[in-house]
Structure 1
Amino acid sequence: MKNCASMTIAIISLLSILFFMSVSASNDRSLLTLPSLLDDATSFEEGLSNSLYHKSCHDVEGVIFRKVMEWVKKDPSLAPSLIRLHFHDCVLRGCDASILLNHSGSERSADVSKSLRGFQVIDDIKAELEKKCPRTVSCADILTTAARDATVLAGGPFWSIPFGRKDGRISLAKEATNVPMGRESVTKLIELFESKGLNVLDLVVLSGAHTIGRSTCESVQHRLYNYKGTKKPDPSINPVYLNYLRKKCRSTSGNVFLDATTPKAFDIHYFRNLKKKMGLLSTDQSLYSDLRTKPFVNALFNESSLFFNQFSVSMVKLGNILDAKSQEKGEIRINCNRVNYRHV
């Protein structure tokens, strides 16, 4: 009964925050007009359907899940990598698998994409599905589903996915500069999410994916030794955590867990770490220092069920970001690394 009461209070708290911010947004352009927390997690964009492959490619989700499980079993670090790969894809041209195109000047060749992993997993799944259902399942649908399955295999929630995304034919490295690098302000992050139809709650909840995975030491060096040109560490870092990071990141070539408490478990310790000033990236810790995002962190840090439920909702919204031009001129790639043909 206590758990139910606590969950109810947390939901009411989140709804109250959403209402307050939607009212405040009219007076502050940096805030978003937010929808209710009770968004339908199974709703989807026109043209997408949960039953699309039921007849054309039976057991498509089973094929994808088994392949992801096979890879993640061999290398658990691929789970967060697949989630990140999906995010990088969707925040640029929508979820059109443009991040998978492998040619000179593509998103994949950009500096921000150098640490991306999981391409081989998608290639393996695509090869299997091409044998089973030629020219039927898009690479974009595969990537979206693989991110969901990776989340489940890491201990996170399951959600239903509508299908029908087309694979885009354009991928530009210069556009990849719009992907967050871990040093952006909360305002910049909110603006990016707003431009994609996502809100502040989605920003905080999707940042919770950092409960698993690693980041490069290079991305945090400025916080450890020369924050904003002061030649001192970022004062917002917990001193004990600072010592830990300095030992782990003596050089820029190493990696460090995003969640120092439970790095391999998909849980709410990411939010608890923020309260302890143990957010790894500047963009992580700033979620607790900014008044627009802090209330959501407070509402989530002790409610696993609430985090899991809302993560599902926000991931559906992320996966449903579609660019009209990309979809209109899109295709079903035979090979996820290249377009089928080029128009003259």
Structure 2
Amino acid sequence: MAAASSSSRSATAAGVLLAMVVAAVCLHGAAAQLCEDYYDDTCPDAYDIVKQVLMDAHQSDTRIFASLIRLHFHDCFVQSEKESPPNNGSARGFPVVDAVKAALEDACPGVVSCADILAIAAEISVELSGGPSWGVLLGRLDGKTSDFNGSLDLPAPTDNLTVLQQKFSNLSLNDVDLVALSGGHTFGRVQCQFVTDRLYNFSGTNMPDPTLDSSYRAFLSQRCPRNGDPRSLNDLDPTTPDTFDNHYYTNIEVNRGFLSSDQELKSSPQAQGTTAPIVDQFAGSQDAFFASFAQSMINMGNLRPVTDPSQGEVRTNCRRVNGS
């Protein structure tokens, strides 16, 4: 995560947790490469400690695994703050990050960064949900600066395929990365506000999105009525909502992508010859999806990490810069 900003927001603990990890994972100026065995000598039980806290948290919150991988994605993609528009009221899971940090501080004080906590937590969350495992590259420091508007560059639920491809290309991530990482929507929940336009006023037409399967649209209309609660939650994957599998792609194949940005990967005219064949491949082979997802998570997690001590630190408390 990124650090709290230099403004008065840095004194607001709850407002800076996401920001701290973002900068740590994504800023320029890395002084060393990340490696899987970074904590083998200094905190050899780090992975197991994180895993135990996550397993305990999942007992009371079945959404936590999806929430944590989403935090890691947002943290890697841009340098942004918890209170910026795409994150405010949407990003969740911060108390679990606090709990992990506290457990690690008990075991090996001042060693494991909050940025690396999210990287480890993302892998564990996927694996415990039935998905693939991968060797997590570690050694990030927690950044000392943040950009309140940084998350405006995150892929948005309403982005068309051209915009999505450009946002990924800006970070040297390709179409396979785009389609594979979008597969993180195979579990978790999403608020009604992100689908109401598709149901009732797609692109300002006062009509539903024509790419949305009619029976699925009818189901969603009951879940998200026109004047209903915009924050009501729905399964991103109505078939296996808490399992990490390839159903995200089989849903898209039959026009049952929840977000318009999901369906764009298959239904956009620009998708033919670019992302649509990748969707087809992943729908037909869960093994292919898992392999690509694991590699794309490594690619994303290695986006300009901070490893230079002059630019970063290991946070004692994930909600504030050391000494603040």
Report the CA distance between 1:181 and its aligned residue.
Answer: 2.2
The answer as to 2:249 corresponding to 1:271 is yes
The answer as to 2:279 corresponding to 1:301 is no
Where does 1:21-40 land on structure 2 (aligned, <5 Å)? none
Larger helix percent: 1
Who is 1:76 aligned against?
A: 62
- One of 98, 107, 128 as aligned partner of 1:123: 98
Is contact 2:31-2:306 (8 Å) kept? no
Cα distance change on mapping 1:160 and 1:45 into 2, 3 Å? farther
Q: What is the count of residue pairs matched by the alignment?
A: 287
> CA–CA distance in 2 between the matches of 1:90 and 1:306?
23
> CA–CA distance in 1 between the matches of 2:67 and 2:252?
22
Where does 1:7-18 land on structure 2 (aligned, <5 Å)? none
| SS across alignment from 1:202 | helix
> CA–CA distance in 2 between the matches of 1:222 and 1:243?
14
> CA–CA distance in 2 between the matches of 1:327 and 1:198?
27
Of all paired residues, the percent bearing the same amino acid is 39
- One of 33, 37, 42 as aligned partner of 1:51: 37
Who is 2:82 aligned against?
A: 108
| SS across alignment from 2:109 | coil
| SS across alignment from 2:245 | coil
Where does 1:275-290 land on structure 2 (aligned, <5 Å)? 275-289=253-267, 290=271
> CA–CA distance in 2 between the matches of 1:262 and 1:341?
45
| TM-score, normalised relative to structure 2 | 0.85
> CA–CA distance in 2 between the matches of 1:187 and 1:338?
37
Who is 1:232 aligned against?
A: 207
| SS across alignment from 1:256 | strand
Report the CA distance between 1:172 and its aligned residue.
Answer: 2.4
Report the CA distance between 1:47 and its aligned residue.
Answer: 2.2
Is contact 1:167-1:326 (8 Å) kept? no
Is contact 1:193-1:199 (8 Å) kept? yes
Higher RCO structure, 1 or 2 (CA under 8 Å, sep 6+): 2
Report the CA distance between 1:46 and its aligned residue.
Answer: 4.4
The answer as to 2:308 corresponding to 1:330 is no
Cα distance change on mapping 1:304 and 1:45 into 2, 3 Å? farther
- One of 166, 180, 183 as aligned partner of 2:155: 180
> CA–CA distance in 2 between the matches of 1:300 and 1:328?
42
Is contact 1:168-1:329 (8 Å) kept? yes
Partner letter of residue 293 of structure 1?
T
Who is 1:162 aligned against?
A: 137
Who is 1:10 aligned against?
A: none
Cα RMSD after superposing both structures = 1.8
Q: Which runs of 5+ in 2 are unaligned?
A: 1-29
Who is 1:16 aligned against?
A: none
| SS across alignment from 2:198 | helix
Cα distance change on mapping 1:133 and 1:269 into 2, 3 Å? same
| SS across alignment from 1:237 | coil
Is contact 1:205-1:307 (8 Å) kept? yes
Is contact 1:167-1:327 (8 Å) kept? no
Who is 1:207 aligned against?
A: 182
Who is 1:254 aligned against?
A: 232
Q: Which runs of 5+ in 1 are unaligned?
A: 1-43, 94-98, 100-106
Report the CA distance between 1:247 and its aligned residue.
Answer: 0.3
For residues 153-195 of structure 1, give each alpha carbon's deviation from its aligned partner in whole angstroms, at most 9, with x where no partner exists.
Answer: 1111111112100101112221121112200111111111112
Report the CA distance between 1:324 and its aligned residue.
Answer: 5.6
Cα distance change on mapping 1:267 and 1:181 into 2, 3 Å? same
Partner letter of residue 110 of structure 1?
S
| SS across alignment from 2:149 | helix
Partner letter of residue 84 of structure 2?
A
Cα distance change on mapping 1:153 and 1:340 into 2, 3 Å? same
> CA–CA distance in 2 between the matches of 1:326 and 1:225?
50
> CA–CA distance in 2 between the matches of 1:123 and 1:276?
40
